[in-house]
Structure 1
Amino acid sequence: MKQYLTITFALLLSAAVQAQSRKAVFIIVDGIPADVFERAELPHFKHIIQSGSYLRAFVGGEKGGYSQTPTISAVGYNSVLTGTWVNKHNVWDNDIKEPNYQYWTIFRTFKSHFPQRKTAIYSSWEDNRTKLVGDRLPATGNLAIDIRHDGFELDTVRFPHDRKKAYMERIDAHVAEEAAKSIRQQAPDLSWVYLEYTDDMGHMYGDSPEFSSAIRKMDEKIGKIWEAVQYRQKQFKEQWMIVITTDHGRDEPSGKHHGGQTFRQRSGWIVSNIKQPNVYAKTSYPGVVDIMPTIARFLGLPLPQHVARESDGVALTGKISVARANVNYFQDVLDISWINPDPGGNVKIWVTTTNNYKTGGTDEYKLLAEVPAAQGHAVVNVKELPSKFYKVVLEGKENTVNRWWVADK
């Protein structure tokens, strides 16, 4: 018995040490559609992709559906941070007027589970930390980011503003240098880096040599951060995930604009050093909301039930029980379908007719069915739950997804 307990303790200790050695940094580079990214000569990105993977991905939620999301910068950042679309996180534009902090960011989830581990944000925009992440706000449970290098757009002494926005390139260079230095020396467990200059050049010049030049300069900055990650991996035997994405694409005619729902404005991508995306990632069209659960899974971070039930994303690594859920209503029944990338186990079908979670309340879910995940389809009777709104949660062995049905207005 003592030997069994000793072995069990050793295994638990080994798992804990392994989890502590896992660290993640995600980077958002602003406003680069997939077609431009794929044509560019980017040696540092190429090295990361050779070490890992490249996926096309979409932004903007479900076009024409309840989750349709403006293809605007801060809106996209918050979809990455929370793993939800705008109908939940409520950031509709760059003013960031009323973020709905009921939908937790990856930082809040991480700090709630690992309060002693370190987080970091490196960004030109101070609003990314103070408004989106909600650093030190009562509404986010007084979440505190440990390492902060941001707000440089407000420093007109070190970075005097000019009409051609060259100062933003200098700010991005400073942000990347601070991020690389901090990763080398402090090795925060969860970091976010934001670089803006590419979007500025897109707005000013559209599809142009100036835009292409800004993307090449961005690649050099990514290279510094990637070198810092490799240094930590080699010198300290740490396991690192780096994920790089964009927040929106650009319009088809000129490349100067975004915000709408055309294919190119919704066009994004995800680069990671993780070699083996799962079946879902390879056979579906991932969204930027998939990044949050992917990072959580890598870090060994379990999503609390209330976060898992509201998340619109699916992890791009590991086994997946259920994805791409769809719900239709007719004649007192809900017709529910999904894909089952990794067969095995059952799917529990939970249904509620309320959305109290949005305002801090609780939704009373009813378990209406449990079927084999491989079945991929179920019809459940909701005659006793008449409503013009249904929130359906599919809980599988490996993951949970949700889907709404909203009556036509």
Structure 2
Amino acid sequence: MCTLLCSTFLVNTQLSTTRKKRFLFSQSSRAYKSFLKHFTLRMANRSAVKLNSGQPDFVQFNNLACETAGGKMIFATDEWFAPARNLLKRGPAEFLPSAFTEFGKWMDGWETRRKRIPGHDWCIVQLGVPGVIHGFDVDTSFFTGNYAPSISIQAACLDGLPLPSLVFEGDRTGMAASESQFEAVAQLHSASWEEIVPVTMLRPGYSDSCHNFFSVTYPHRVTHIRLNMYPDGGIARLRVYGVGQRNWSSVSSQEEMDLVTLVNGGVCVGYSDAHFGHPRNMIGLGRADSMADGWETARRLDRPKVLKMDEKGILQVPGFEWAIFRLGHPGVISRIEIDTNHFKGNFPDWCKIEACSLTPEEEQTYIRRKWSSDKGPTWKMLLLPQKLKPHYRHFYSGECVLQCGSASHVRLVIAPDGGVSRLRLWGHIISSNSTNPHQISKL
């Protein structure tokens, strides 16, 4: 078991061949026994986690800086122990107590050397999806005696401005920015960007203190952020929660767009269950990499002991799960895709989609009521119940998609439970000159 875990670690990390050889250890070694004990305890003690327990509301928004959304690390002053690009990984940080590289302890995050020169460390992130930021999670997981004491965050919109050529590729462990790279990044004048998170102390990376949340009130489009750590240290993940924002004035009302994708400003504003995966994953870029990159609920406990189908082959169950999305721009939907990619033994039996048109004030009211069925909006049927297949792209158009007028919100209903990897809603916006009133509203 441990040999398999060690092999998996070596395959999935960015260590060079030489460093992997140095990391390997025999089954009789003390390191091996420590490794086995660590994983045995972690697996035995792991418990189910509710995605929204004890977290601020803004974490329901999209992570605009995540590597799977196209986020890029374009500069970092120092990356001695661990490269800055780790900050943008989608998954949670991992810890291997016996893993070392030639530069020191292997850490799943960004960690700089202990500074012995004037100044402080900082990095610049290019958001994968430019938009309005509502909050940050500066995650210090496993950085307990080596976390950055304090941070601040600055932001800028560099649309239309010439950007210097900054090449930060490959494994940069053990490296620092060169003089020429400092000269190139100086052209961005990042030190003068707007400060949206002032200098604030961080908490250490223990399980009960690692998530450092910062709510932001900055209603402007952002393309780049600068993370300053004072003076040095380590951070595991940087999550930038917000809503994508595009210039809709340049979009013709005749142009067909995916109105729900995160790139165009779509966002999840409510759901019934997200035990294994958040519904926001469904509006991500491309097709899902795995089940972890989709929406998956727990198995409903109200399912009949013996399942039955109707004449159309649809399971007859009392309950269902749902997820509600605000479209990036109100519009008329004409084509739909429901993708169950990777969900082979846990896909929903059937689904349907409903739509409605809400003002920002109405949306806020329903969010406060948690989209209660008895006090919720009046939904119109957009897609009648459809039988689903495992690991399959389902396309609906023509007569399958009902005409329900312009919509600002949609509700995807699945029954009885299961997982969906992607949701695509193609349609036309109402007016190319209008500005979406929901773009900067909060949950």
TM-score, normalized by length of structure 1?
0.30
Q: Which structure is richer in relative contact order (CA contacts within 8 A, separation 6 or more)?
A: 1
Question: Which of the pair has more CA radius of gyration?
Answer: 2
TM-score, normalized by length of structure 2?
0.29
